[in-house]
Amino acid sequence: MIERRKFIKVSALTGLAGLVSGKVAGTDFYFSKKGQPIVISTWDAGIAANKAAWQVLSTNGSALDAVEKGVMVTESSQNCCVGLGANPDRDGYVTLDASIMDENFNCGSVAFLEGIKHPISVARRVMEKTPHVMLVGAGAQQFAIAEGFPLEAQKLSEQAQENYDNWLKKSEYKSPAINVEKTKEHGPFAPAKLDNGEWNHDTIGMIAMDFNGNLSGSCTTSGAGFKMRGRVGDSPIIGAGLYVDNEVGACVATGQGEDVIRVAGSHSVVEMMRQGLSPEAACKKIIQRIIKIKKEKAKDIQVAFIALNKNGQHGSFAIHPGFEYALRNTNNEKLVKSKSWFNI
């Protein structure tokens, strides 16, 4: 489990140059002035990832470089959730998904990729060096090796090994619905709620705006822990796990990928922002859509969206409490607690 990082508040929100609070469509928001760099990313691992992204943004680098460099930190971190040390599939193999998108609708992704430490960088190469958007499995690995990425052995982190050993005791393959209470058993679909009340989350998604006011996004994951071999989630699917429209805003998703895919989640959130909703209200609208589709099964799954609009406003919404996102801009480095549909 990623170590829970302390809530860091560099300075008070009010009265800071370039940071304004207000209300749009009935929800609170904070925003940086347009052109003031900002990065947001999912969960507490985002604090460390944002630091790397901020190094790029604060030295006038591009949002695209920032979102790649940022999530590479998490891919390298040997935790249970992202990268080669993450929770494996039910057969014991770590398979990785990632996507990246820039301000010009250029996008690239990889899915079901094995043995490569930085899937996000392979996704970027797919975007920049091929006529395609998505490469999967052996083909994605072949491309990565041809591009000079070393083939590495998977080495489960201690936590991932423990999670897998626990799961093997029952090898219980449940339907994609998470029973929030029962996921103590580390059920196959992430994010599951653990004994200590934290979510076992498997993705980092990041969105940034640079000094030029350009937006980019990235998303990288080991997917749902103990998934069927070959299962691919929302994270590498442009429009589901990630979407960027530089005229409007950007969104990334985390949670049960199947339910993000069926509503084209991130694209839908961006479309809501296009219609004038604040990032938080837009995320809430699509969470509501998922809840309407899932009916009583919505209790059993977690999905969360984070979004950033062209003016630097940011927000999120989740199905269940417990989700938070990391924010970094000129004045702040902190975790923001998300609102959620169910308020336990």
State yes or no: is 203 an active-site residue: yes
In the sheet with 19-24, reading across from the earlier edge strand, the strands are 19-24, 27-32, 313-318, 303-309, 249-255, 242-245
- Figure out which of the listed residues 40, 52, 224, 250 binds ligand ASP, where binding follows CB under 6 A: 224
Catalytic option among 74, 95, 183, 203: 203
Structure tokens at 167: 């799961």
320 DSSP assignment: S
- Figure out which of the listed residues 65, 202, 271, 280 binds ligand ASP, where binding follows CB under 6 A: 202
Shortest Å, Cβ 234 to ligand ASP: 5
Nearer to ligand ASP, 83 or 233 (CB): 233
- Figure out which of the listed residues 177, 190, 250, 264 binds ligand ASP, where binding follows CB under 6 A: 190
Contact letters for ligand ASP, residues 241-260 (x by CB under 6 A)? -------------xxxx---
- Figure out which of the listed residues 183, 203, 316, 331 binds ligand ASP, where binding follows CB under 6 A: 203
Helix (H) or strand (E) holding 9: none
- Asked if residues 209 and 37 have their Cβ atoms less than 8 Å apart, the reply is yes
Candidates 85-93, 219-227, 290-298, 334-342; binding stretch for ligand ASP (CB under 6 A): 219-227
Candidates 24-32, 137-145, 167-175, 228-236; binding stretch for ligand ASP (CB under 6 A): 228-236
- Figure out which of the listed residues 32, 157, 159, 221 binds ligand ASP, where binding follows CB under 6 A: 221
- Does 223 interact with ligand ASP (rule: CB under 6 A)? yes
Shortest Å, Cβ 22 to ligand ASP: 30
- Does 188 interact with ligand ASP (rule: CB under 6 A)? no
- Give the binding-site size for ligand ASP (rule: CB under 6 A): 15
Candidates 5-13, 15-23, 157-165, 220-228; binding stretch for ligand ASP (CB under 6 A): 220-228
Shortest Å, Cβ 225 to ligand ASP: 8
Candidates 87-95, 109-117, 231-239, 262-270; binding stretch for ligand ASP (CB under 6 A): 231-239
CA separation, residue 324 to residues 56, 134, 276, 339 (Å): 23, 29, 24, 9
Helix (H) or strand (E) holding 329: strand 324-329
Residue 27 pairs in a beta bridge with: 24
Rounded Cα distance, 243 and 285, in Å: 16
Rounded Cα distance, 120 and 122, in Å: 5
Shortest Å, Cβ 80 to ligand ASP: 11
| List of E strands, the chain | 19-24, 27-32, 38-42, 96-101, 107-113, 134-136, 192-193, 199-200, 203-209, 215-221, 242-245, 249-255, 303-309, 313-318, 324-329, 333-337
Residue position matching structure tokens 């998108």? 101
- Does 235 interact with ligand ASP (rule: CB under 6 A)? yes
- Asked if residues 321 and 197 have their Cβ atoms less than 8 Å apart, the reply is no
Q: CA geometry: angle at 203 spanning 12 and 11, to 5°?
A: 5
Closest by CA position to 193, among listed 180, 178, 177, 176: 180
Count of beta carbons in the 10 Å neighbourhood of residue 65: 18
Considering just the CA atoms, what is the radius of gyration of the chain in Å?
18
Nearer to ligand ASP, 31 or 323 (CB): 323
- Does 75 interact with ligand ASP (rule: CB under 6 A)? no
- Does 265 interact with ligand ASP (rule: CB under 6 A)? no
Candidates 47-55, 66-74, 112-120, 221-229; binding stretch for ligand ASP (CB under 6 A): 221-229
* Binding residues vs ligand ASP (CB under 6 A): 190-191, 201-203, 221, 223-224, 233-235, 254-257
Query: Which residues form the catalytic set?
Result: 203
